[in-house]
Structure 1
Amino acid sequence: MVTAEQARPDWRALWQSGDLARFCFISLGIFLHATNETMVATIMPAMVRDIDGVEFVGWSFAVYEIGSIIAGAASGRLVSLVSLRANMVIAALLFMAGCIVCALATAMPWFLLGRLLEGFGGGGLVALAFVSVERLFPRLIWPQLFAIMSAIWGVSAFAGPLLGALAAEAISWRWAFAASALIGCAMAAASFAVLRMRAALTPAEPQSRPSFPFEVLACLAVSVILIAIAGLAIETVRSSLLLITGLLGVGLVFRLDARRPGARLFPSRPFDWRSPVGTGMTMIAAFSVATVSFGLYAPLILTNLHGMPLLTTGYIIASESIAWSVLSILVANAPAHRERLIITAGAFMIAGGIAGFAYAVPQGALPLILFSAILQGGGFGIAWPFVTRMIVAAAPPEERTIASSAVPTMQRLGYAVGAAIAGIIANAGGFSKGLNAETAAGAASWLFVAFLPLAVVGCVAGWRTARNL
């Protein structure tokens, strides 16, 4: 029998043994990934003024998410082929290469290539950080390490806008990517130097290596790109056909995935509303698609339409992530009988944030924009942990591991699809003609109003999920 005192981790001993030092280096990958997202949102207005291509803004986020999804799916399989240390080094170098390409980009196509490489590297580093916890550290301290990861997300959300705004306003937006490239290089060197234990130098057991879902991920990438292409030159027939084809392709992703029982990314019935798995996954998908417009286009609109400084818009974006982290920690120990209320409240908070943006962003009402960002991020923070737990608990025993990993994958898929659709809306609103106050005003409201029906779907799905508790 292990007493509570014996079960308490000895943090000083863990630091002296080097376990926590190694974890700090591993967590640098999470810091890179999270910082990059808010940094890019902050510098986007300065970047598009320099190299043009505002009509491709949705692409910049979509290709990053596609790269992250592919890297996340590949990471768990690659550690059975090559060592964890080699995977970490390669992912960090890919991230560094992407940052260098973005920093040197003279046109939007080159910038998009850099973002794709960043997605491969950043998504791989995040996935490998979770793999590292399982392979390198004692089970006793896993909860503490995951809590540290959550704290790192909050710190990173705060650091990203600061780095981006300081670089863009003092020197050039390119130096923000140059700084990220240096950190990526340091991450690669640290991984090579620090990860010397046997578990980090030897591949996983061969029997843990499932096949790779090539056709599923290829279908996903093509589908998102088709949706994004629909927004480049808005023509009713052409854009509608591309959008419909892309959405059908997204549906085909789940059909193809269901035919691969040995390498699935999602549960067998991800949208079956007769099960908490289906309602929970629907809630995650709907809200992920519906909320991407804020982080993607709010800085462009606020700086060009209302003249807000880059740093201000960056920290408004960061406030959403900070609210997510803080409220997630605050409700982590909520009693079971409160979970139904928390999930429902979280869903309506997210929908309320989207509705608030639809009014406040076009008006430039800074206090209401900030409140809506906190409302949206806080809604995610309180609802997501409990919805995730319900999905995993309701899944068949043989699918619980898949269900657990499917939640972040579905979220990133929603972000990629949402970014592509938001690009269509923004370009139809005027961004295809260039970036100025007039085009920003034309797109400001529709970028949020158009997603309100999906927010309603998310609320209904959240309510149905809560009923199953």
Structure 2
Amino acid sequence: MSDTTTERTDWRALWETGDLARFCFVSLGILLHATNETMVATVMPAMVGEISGVELVGWSLAIYELGAIVAGAAAGRLVSYVPLRSNMAFAAVIYALGALICATAPSMPVFLAGRLVEGLGGGALVSLAFVSVERLFPPRIWPQLFGIMSAVWGVAAFSGPLLGAVLTEALSWRWAFGIFTGGGAAMALASYIVLNAPAATTRRSEAASLPPFPYAVLAVLACSIVLIAVAGVDIQPVRSSLLVAAGLLGLAAFFAIDARNPGSRLFPSRLFDWRTPLGAGMTMVAALSVATCSFTVYGPLLLTTLHDVPILTTGYIIAAESISWSIMSIIVANAPPHRERAIIVTGALMIAGGVAGFAYSVPAGATWLVLACAVLQGGGFGIAWPFVTRLIVAAAKEEERTIASSAVPTMQRIGYAIGAAVTGIIANVMGFGSGLSRETAAPVATWVFLAFVPLALVGCVAAVRIAAGMRVNRALPG
């Protein structure tokens, strides 16, 4: 009979050795990044009212996610060349600098420059937090630590909108970013006190064996997203169409180049092949990530402009989406395997229903219905995402499973960046290109959601394909 007590995590011992304090510290990077990521939506109405630039609102999320994607890919490799502690301190300084630029921005273009810098620092902090677990803690407690990090992310996603709303109403939207300036600076200074273990202050010896960094593929991705976003700033039919076409071609080139570089690829092979569970799953992730950006980017701004909904109320609504995601994930966590097909399809339908519901509830100003749609959308992600992720990883080739596990959040971030850029184009075409007012906001409130319903349905069809593939696989003998 095995001694199960040796497998338990001794939290008291971890605290006495300082390991628990170090873990709480590295998790702060996740908290800073995720809270800032979700906070910006609720400060947007006040910010646009002061510095204008409503035609650039879609960039606020797109450029933040773009910075996070690039920095997240880089940070995991840099720890082999530069000690973990130095990386963490530098990333925190970059994050604080970005927050400071945002807090003091006199115009929307300067604010967006700050968001890019923030995204670079925040994306690096998240990547380094996961690297820290692998380098600083014993393998036997990794599952518990990763579970706590997921909980930290959920708390941050919930608290970000509320924090932004409270600070905006009590003080100013600038203070919302000012707090993160202080947090990033404090984390940079504390890195040299808390991260004092040898594993955090030395470089890896096997740096020469690292795969090459994917400079070219990330540069193509960045250019593609920027081209799409630029197309919506000053709407001109020919120019904007050409920029969108160039951006879409760039995205196709991004995936093609990535597939041809097995030594440094970001995604597994047969990425969008609907004949495989992996391809259908990644299609579902991509389609639904793009389709669900509209409310995060424009929801609070539209509700405040059209219906005078208080900023704090919009913060509660966005927070409710995050809470729904977390609660539904917990509810279905132990679902039996034969229920997974139905859960994935149900989740996709819930997400699509939320997107379509926003197209009616936001223009109508029915706050309770907006809340219901937010809960529906968040709950759909909560029940579907864990099973889709597991399916994608399980369906990948054995040598590509590590890549597949990181590909899901990477695809999700790319989807958010593209979705935010496209949302900006739609909003400006429908009226925000002429400025912010009740008259210009009315058509935006419908089309910024309705335009993504077809893409949400693509996600539903991909979910059905996944379910059909699971049924076939279980029916096969052996």
Distance 1:157 1:464, change over 3 A: same
Measured after TM superposition, the shift of residue 179 of structure 1 is 0.7
Compute the displacement of 1:442 (Å). 1.5
Cα drift, residue 163 of structure 1? 2.4
- 1:38, 1:314 within 8 Å by CA — same for their partners in 2? no
Question: How far apart in 2 are the matches of 1:275 and 1:260?
Answer: 21
Match of 1:357 in 2: 358
Q: Contact conserved, 1:96 with 1:184, CA < 8 A, in 2?
A: yes
Instruction: Check 1:16–1:333 CA distance in 2 against 1; reply closer, same or farther (3 A cut).
Output: farther
- C-alpha separation in 1, matches of 2:375 and 2:236: 37
198 and 466 in structure 1: CA distance in 2 versus 1, 3 angstrom threshold: farther
- Which residue in the other structure is 1:190 paired with? 190
Aligned to 1:273: 274
| 8 Å Cα contact 1:46/1:168 also seen in 2 | yes
- The 1-side partners of 2:3 and 2:343 are apart by 33
Distance 1:50 1:450 in 2: 29
Shift of 1:170: 2.3
Q: What letter matches 2:282 in structure 1?
A: M
Name 1:301's counterpart in structure 2.
302
Which amino acid letter does the alignment assign opposite residue 411 of structure 1?
Q
Shift of 1:161: 2.4
SS in 2 for 1:381: helix
| TM norm structure 1 | 0.98
CA positional deviation for 1:400: 0.8
- Aligned counterpart, 1:321: 322
Q: How many residues align?
A: 469
Give the aligned residue type for 2:349. F
Give the alignment of 1:69-468 within 5 angstroms: 69-204=69-204, 205-207=206-208, 209-468=210-469
Q: Which residue of 2 aligns with 1:22?
A: 22
5+ residue gaps, structure 1: none
1:17-66 C-alpha deviation (Å, 9 max, x unpaired): 22211111111111111110222111001111111111011111111011
Moved more, 7-16 or 200-209: 200-209
CA contact (8 A) 1:429 1:446 kept: yes
- Which digits, 9 at most, give the CA deviation of each residue in 1:192-251, with x for residues without a partner? 211111111122322552111111111111111111111112222221111111111111
Cα separation, 2, equivalents of 1:323 and 1:19? 32
SS in 2 for 1:80: coil
Contact 2:162 2:319 survives alignment (8 Å): no
Which one-letter code corresponds to 2:236 in the other structure? E
Please provide the CA RMSD for this pair.
Answer: 1.3
- Say which is worse superposed, 408-417 or 138-147, in terms of deviation: 138-147
CA distance in structure 2 between the partners assigned to 1:438 and 1:134 by the alignment: 53
| Unaligned runs of at least 5 residues, structure 2 | 471-478
Q: CA deviation at 1:159?
A: 2.3
Q: TM-score, normalised by structure 2?
A: 0.96
* 2:426 alignment partner AA: I
Conserved? CA contact 2:231–2:241, under 8 Å: yes
1:389-442 deviations in whole A, cap 9, x for unaligned? 111111111111111111111001001110010000000111111111111112
Report the Cα distance in structure 1 between the residues aligned to 2:404 and 2:158, rounded to whole angstroms. 30
The CA distance in 1 between the partners of 2:144 and 2:328, in whole Å, is 17
SS of 2:57 mapped into structure 1: helix
Summarize the Cα distance change of 1:208–1:353 in structure 2 as closer, same or farther, 3 Å threshold.
farther
1:58-103 residue CA offsets vs partner (Å, 9 max, x unmatched): 1111110110000111011111111111111111111100000011
Question: Is contact 1:290-1:451 (8 Å) kept?
Answer: yes
Q: Which moved more, 1:198-207 or 1:264-273?
A: 198-207
**Retained in 2: the 8 A contact 1:286–1:458?**
yes
Letter in 2 for 1:49: G
- Give the match for residue 473 of structure 2: none
Amino acid of the residue matched to residue 71 of structure 1? Answer: A
CA shift digits 1:109-167 (9 cap, x unpaired): 11111000000011111111111111211222222212211221222123222321232
Cα distance in 2 for partners of 1:207, 1:378 equals 45
- Write the distance in 2 (CA, Å) between the matches of 1:137 and 1:308: 47
CA shift in 2, pair 1:337/1:5, >3 Å: farther
State the alpha-carbon separation in 2 of the partners of residues 343 and 166 from structure 1.
36
The CA distance in 1 between the partners of 2:161 and 2:60, in whole Å, is 17
The amino acid of 1:76's aligned partner reads G
Q: Secondary structure at the match of 1:468?
A: helix
Greater displacement, 223-232 / 13-22: 13-22
Q: Which runs of 4+ in 1 moved over 6 A?
A: none
1:3 shift after superposition: 3.3
Structure 1 pair 4–336 and aligned structure 2 pair: CA distance change class (3 A): farther
Does the 8 A contact of 1:95 with 1:117 survive in 2? Answer: yes
- Three-state SS of the structure 2 residue aligned to 1:445 is helix
Question: Are the counterparts in 2 of residues 58 and 422 from structure 1 also a CA contact under 8 Å?
Answer: yes
